[in-house]
Amino acid sequence: MSARVIVVVLGKQGAGKGTQCKRLAQHLGVPHVSTGDILRAAVRDRTTIGLEVASILEAGQLVNDDLVNRLVEERFNDADTAGGALLDGFPRTEAQAEALDQILGDDGVKICINLDVPNALVAERLSSRRVCQECGAIYRDSDIEAISGTCTNCGGDVVQRADDMPDAIHQRLEVYERDTAPLLAFYEARGLLVRIDGDQDPQTVTAEILDALAERGVA
């Protein structure tokens, strides 16, 4: 079997990981695996895990590594990941990056894309972000879908995430610096890190990511 296309997409909250992964998933034909989406779905569906993590998500804290690692391991049992996956929001700590290596075995992470964005832009993007509770489509507060509250993709409710409120944004950026920023050095040391300027229009960012993947023979 040919090697799996395993792409880790890193970047601060609001850097554009979700938007880019949705676009790249279509280009590459591998699923977009977002631990944030998986956890939010669990909260929405009031599963045992959802009830356990709801207040953690709302406060912008990280869910414990073992739980998230288990969710990702289970996701990699699904047939649609046989060709690879775009990982968004995972790994988020060094312990998770090590767990990911274990889960994937020899056919591991091929490239890690970091979307660089300044903090001021992050705060602005997050506070104006609205999301569909059903399909995860992302809108801005000025979009008609956000104003009407109805997603044009699936008819789901378009809402502001509790963790996109100002206090939680501040908290999440602190958690990012403390726990997730060290992953840049982790992947750089393995020669897997590519930095892309996330402060450009989405099409340009996608094109630069696809170029980086092609240059490295990933896809």
List active site positions.
17, 92, 129, 161, 172
Taking the least distance from each CB to ligand ADP, the nearer of 3 and 185 is: 185
Rounded CA-CA distance 171/178 in Å is 11
Taking the least distance from each CB to ligand ADP, the nearer of 9 and 193 is: 9
Rounded to a whole number of angstroms, the minimum distance from the CB of residue 37 to ligand ADP is 6
Catalog residues that contact ligand ADP under the rule CB under 6 A.
Answer: 13, 34-36, 39, 56-57, 60-63, 68, 89-90, 92, 96, 163, 172
Do residues 100 and 10 make contact, with C-beta atoms less than 8 angstroms apart?
Answer: no
Taking the least distance from each CB to ligand ADP, the nearer of 156 and 216 is: 156
Q: Give Cβ neighbours of residue 81 (< 8 Å, ≥ 6 apart).
A: 4, 30, 31, 33, 75
60 phi and psi angles, rounded to 5 deg: 80, 20
Rounded to a whole number of angstroms, the minimum distance from the CB of residue 62 to ligand ADP is 4
Rounded to a whole number of angstroms, the minimum distance from the CB of residue 96 to ligand ADP is 6
Rounded to a whole number of angstroms, the minimum distance from the CB of residue 84 to ligand ADP is 18
Taking the least distance from each CB to ligand ADP, the nearer of 62 and 112 is: 62
124-128 contacts: CB < 8 A, separation 24 or more?
125/14, 126/13, 126/14, 126/164, 126/169, 127/164, 127/166, 127/169
CA distances to 12, 33, 67, 86, 205 from 22, rounded to whole Å, are: 17, 10, 24, 9, 13
Output the six-digit token pair for 45.
């569906």
Give me the residue whose beta carbon is nearest to ligand ADP.
36
